[in-house]
Structure 1
Amino acid sequence: MGKRRRVAERRRTRPALLGGALAVAVGAGAGLYALYGGAAADERAAAGHKTVRTGPPTAAEIRTTAARFLTAWQHGKVSAAAAATDDPAAADRLLTGYTKDAHLTDVTVTARPPKGARVPFAVRATIAYRGLSKPLAYDSSLTVVRRASDGRPLVDWRPAVVHPDLTDGDRLVTGASGTPPVKALDRDGGEITAARYPSLGTVLDGLREKYGKTAGGTAGIELRVVRGKAAKDAKLSDKTLAELSRGTPGTVRTTLSPEFQAAAEQQVDKRARASVVVLRPSTGEILAAANSGHGFNTAFQGALAPGSTMKIITSSLLLDKGLAAADKPHPCPKTVTFGGWKFHNDDDFEIKGGTFKASFARSCNTAFISQAKKLGNDDLSRQAQQVFGLSRNDWAIGVPSFDGSVPVQSAAQMAAELIGQGGVRMNPLNMASVAATVQSGSFHQPYLVPPSVDHRTLATASRTLPARTLSQLRELMRYTAASGTAAEAMSGLGPDYGAKTGSAEVDGQKKPNGWFTAYRGDLAAAGVVQAGGHGGDTAGPIVAALLKRGS
């Protein structure tokens, strides 16, 4: 009889379920929820046996572990919540700061139905600081894993569990911002806001971080993400999450064009994971930058293999060294072996008796790999740095940016870099600048904020292309836009134009990243659609639509 009573009591203490979701939202006077199905007994039993459970966590373990963590968190029981994770020390620090530094109170967490081992949940809290208060609401999630040493299910600790904008080393802080807000203006004097241009949220954060203290504003009170070392190394800016009292913003004028920015936002919204940049070759002014994902700024800070768009730089090198000429015969076999790797063309095509121009226009990989044996390991890196201003980490555009990377490599990796694979990394800003350099004849460092605003010095290239190389390079890009892989996207935009397509293979990705860079008149643009497929079909229409606005 006693045994049946204990079983009944245990059943009555199971948590309530709302629509299949574990209800962990509790009031100030409620106690901790009991755990699923006698979990405490299971742990005592496990302590007496040496058998370690393996395999993915069960559905019951996922619900139980999530309930343990979320319930302890919302009750302010930091040690108990941290103990439910696989990194108690890191969890304890961040959860302590959630109350102490971020001044978040009245926390309510509501779990939603698990999706496998991932448990989504909603957070509602109040920011309370020196007589000011404001509600805060956001969504996050956690993942339950099994610890290998003892088989115990635990929350896989990541700062993003506490808030999705947090990365390793970041903190949530409420107080005087320290950095006044800024009012960013476009080139026509209109205000730039994230509500109007969703892609520019990170750009506005970067402008505030760099110019907030010098633009003439005063600080307000806010909840913000204060970046740690890892995030700062990745050039991520502090981020405002909520304002309790707004400071007085200073003013920063940018080079952005409201027409081009609005059009860029519309274009990238047509495809997932798309990014694009438009700039003016004669000056380097950035007219637009947009990403279909409004978090990380791939347009300025991405580091992706650029695929065959890199052949613009490689072609300039081969032309400079006399290893190719636009209208002279050039080999394009089905395959070429170099450094122990066998390199292929798309679908193993070949061009018999063709010119270098034909190989460039059709994006023949082997036409470039075949010349690798005649190049030094540092030739491509030097060409990128000295002529195109890349891979030197010295651009100062006004907000954080990645300036491209063309590392010195040898053997097969060096050959792969010739076609935009291997260790080469670029973003749309970099590749738009490459097209702009070809159009203008010399490198002009792109910039978003005019250098006159803060008297900074822009990066310069140490040399320009010889006139013969430049004219042939323009001929290659013009022919590609007219009759090659870029022709469909660039239809009707000639004759003062040039383009190059690219497709970059990524390990574990079914489709390649599609790249496209082009110029028309005094406009240059580049775009990427990650996992989109061929660049002419994916990024090409985005770039071409923006270049058409220059007419």
Structure 2
Amino acid sequence: MGKRGRATERGKKRPAVIGGLIAVVVGGGAVGAYSLYGGGGAAAEDRTTATADHKAVKTGPVSATEVRTAARTFLAAWQGGQVAKAAAATDDSAAATAALTGYRKDAHITGVTLTSGTRAGATVPFSVKATVTYKGKSKPLAYNSKLTIVRRAEDGVALVGWKPSVVHPDLRDGDRLVTGASGTPPVKALDRDGGELTTAKYPSLGTVLDGLREKYGKKAGGTAGIELRVVRKAAAKGADKTPDKTLVALSEGTPGTVHTTLSPALQADAEQQVTTKPRASVVVTRPSTGEILAVANSGHGFNTAFQGSLAPGSTMKIITSSLLIDKGLASADKAHPCPKYVTYGGWKFQNDNKFEIKNGTFKASFAASCNTAFISQAKKLENDDLTKQAQQVFGLSRNNWSIGVPSFDGAVPVQSAAQMAASLIGQGGVRMNPLNMASVVSTAKTGTFHQPYLVAPSVDDRTLAKGSRSLSSTTQAQLRELLQYTASSGTAAKAMSGLGPDFGAKTGSAEVDGQKEPNGWFTAWKGDLAAAGVVQAGGHGGDSAGPIVAALLRAGS
């Protein structure tokens, strides 16, 4: 991998009681109680300044006494259902009034008991115990939150610094707590054979199943359950809305059914394969159709396989090679330079271990993943050539894929000078994920871009993205030859051993600032299967991601 143009990747304690136990009347005459705990320490020294009308205004840090008093006032008022008094104890009474009113009227939360914990400076943690009740159904609610006391600038009064997370830690600006029929009915997602997809069976599918519910819950014929949930604020135009979050389910809804293209056997294999490496992600597709057959990640939070945005390293050379062949700047069996170093745009690029190939062909350079063979052609290219090739032929970087769940469609921005050169070898501003790279090798194999999809477009009559043009027969033939040679005799040969002859592969490694080892990439096809994987900080792709991808191609054959 080149040394320039790096990518920067995306037991409980019982505290001491201060002030004793305070009994508070909670709605309807029931008695609740909370204890406010101080945490000790000397009070900070109070200072005062005089305003123009000679009224003294406190300045400086809030004292321990002020923290205890302000917190006690707010918590007692909130617990007692005194919204106006609680809001007046904050530095934003309007926002606090709206949130605390909604807490009772929209979220239907009653019987609130608040217990504070040990003060840490101006911050007081507290626990909440309450009941959510809606149309005869009730469930307990318990969580922890915290508040911080600040000094109001205009008069120096110590108040609760208002933020939505005081009410509930999952709330952000613009979010609301609502109890009622869930906005989105649940779904029962099925694999291509009709089996149910669950996280108990396939741990990687948590984010996928959430995405399917968000998109198809209302279309799949289900009925909503009753839930307390965080309703997120509306997203900006063109941006994906953060999914709402269920906090308490008072009753389960009736799920609708959504059919997917996932293969149960390959999904199970993919789940197993990513456990062999930390931070691994993989996708398997069918090149002839674009169907997604498997998706898995070592971590089960963010779906890197579909939504990752990582520099793809030398796997990007598939796209770059098609561009160079199209423009007559390279041909599989013709001589092509692969020196130790090439300088472009003020940057000095080199090959891994500073190797060079003397009197070699372009096919030899591709199979050995020679960086300088590609950088040397930068001066003959326009700044937007690579972007156009990625968009028009490979269907990338247009933000128009609709696979059935959220995905990132890759980015190949127009760049200049050294950054443009770095993009040719998958660094600079280029960003991809395994879904993108499985699609890239599929296009190389078939000659035409087929947008990947997890749910068939016939389910909701959506239109799949298309490329503007296919690979020419000459370019496709040479590109397949490059990939087949790499799989049989190049950097991918070890991983792809025994999978030929209808196969092809490309390895990659992408440097990341502050990361000791590069991200390892591997993308390949065998017959009508394609797969791509990345192991973050895994080192060379042939050794890290290669065995994962090859094992899945072998399993699906």
The reply on whether 1:424 has 2:427 as its aligned counterpart is: no
**Partner deviation per Cα, 1:485-520 (whole Å, 9 max, x = no partner):** 222222222221111122222233333222211111
Kindly state the Cα deviation for residue 32 of structure 1 after the two structures are TM-superposed: 4.7
CA contact (8 A) 1:169 1:230 kept: no
Kindly state the Cα deviation for residue 219 of structure 1 after the two structures are TM-superposed: 1.8
- 1:141–1:30 distance in 2 versus 1, CA, 3 Å: closer
The reply on whether 1:36 has 2:39 as its aligned counterpart is: yes
Query: SS of the counterpart of 1:244?
Result: strand
Distance 1:406 1:381 in 2: 5
- 1:93–1:319 distance in 2 versus 1, CA, 3 Å: farther
CA contact (8 A) 2:308 2:433 kept: yes
The reply on whether 1:490 has 2:496 as its aligned counterpart is: yes
**Partner deviation per Cα, 1:234-274 (whole Å, 9 max, x = no partner):** 45433434421122222111111111111212222333322
Matches within 5 A, 1:169-318: 169-230=174-235, 233-234=239-240, 236-318=242-324
**Partner deviation per Cα, 1:166-203 (whole Å, 9 max, x = no partner):** 66644443211132222211111111123322222222
Question: Given residue 36 of structure 1, which amino acid in structure 2 is its aligned partner?
Answer: G
Matches within 5 A, 1:135-534: 135-136=140-141, 169-230=174-235, 233-234=239-240, 236-534=242-540
- The TM-score normalised by the length of structure 2 is 0.80
CA contact (8 A) 2:47 2:60 kept: no
Question: Given residue 42 of structure 1, which amino acid in structure 2 is its aligned partner?
Answer: A
Distance 1:94 1:363 in 2: 58
What is the match of residue 131 of structure 1? Answer: 136
Query: SS of the counterpart of 2:436?
Result: helix
Query: Larger relative contact order (C-alpha < 8 A, sep ≥ 6)?
Result: 2
Percent identity over the alignment? Answer: 74
Larger radius of gyration: 2
Distance 1:286 1:475 in 2: 25
Distance 1:544 1:215 in 2: 36
Distance 2:161 2:537 in 1: 28
**Partner deviation per Cα, 1:300-342 (whole Å, 9 max, x = no partner):** 1222221111111011101111111122222222222211222
- 1:318–1:186 distance in 2 versus 1, CA, 3 Å: same
Question: Given residue 374 of structure 2, which amino acid in structure 1 is its aligned partner?
Answer: F
Q: Unaligned 5+ residue runs, structure 2?
A: 1-10, 25-31, 50-55, 151-158
Question: Given residue 307 of structure 1, which amino acid in structure 2 is its aligned partner?
Answer: G
Query: SS of the counterpart of 1:37?
Result: coil
CA contact (8 A) 1:235 1:400 kept: no
Kindly state the Cα deviation for residue 373 of structure 1 after the two structures are TM-superposed: 0.7
Kindly state the Cα deviation for residue 287 of structure 1 after the two structures are TM-superposed: 0.7
**Partner deviation per Cα, 1:262-305 (whole Å, 9 max, x = no partner):** 12122223333222111111111111112222222222122222
- 1:85–1:261 distance in 2 versus 1, CA, 3 Å: farther
- 1:349–1:172 distance in 2 versus 1, CA, 3 Å: farther
Distance 1:470 1:494 in 2: 18
What is the match of residue 150 of structure 1? Answer: none
Kindly state the Cα deviation for residue 350 of structure 1 after the two structures are TM-superposed: 2.4
Coordinate RMSD, CA, aligned: 4.5
- 1:356–1:426 distance in 2 versus 1, CA, 3 Å: same
What is the match of residue 56 of structure 1? Answer: none
Kindly state the Cα deviation for residue 80 of structure 1 after the two structures are TM-superposed: 11
CA contact (8 A) 1:332 1:364 kept: yes
- 1:68–1:303 distance in 2 versus 1, CA, 3 Å: farther
Kindly state the Cα deviation for residue 392 of structure 1 after the two structures are TM-superposed: 1.3
The reply on whether 1:548 has 2:554 as its aligned counterpart is: yes
CA contact (8 A) 1:516 1:526 kept: yes
Q: Unaligned 5+ residue runs, structure 1?
A: 1-16, 54-59, 146-153
Question: Given residue 220 of structure 1, which amino acid in structure 2 is its aligned partner?
Answer: G
- 1:261–1:523 distance in 2 versus 1, CA, 3 Å: same
**Partner deviation per Cα, 1:62-105 (whole Å, 9 max, x = no partner):** x99xx999978995899999999999998887677555544445
**Structure holding more helix per residue:** 1
Equivalenced residue count is: 528
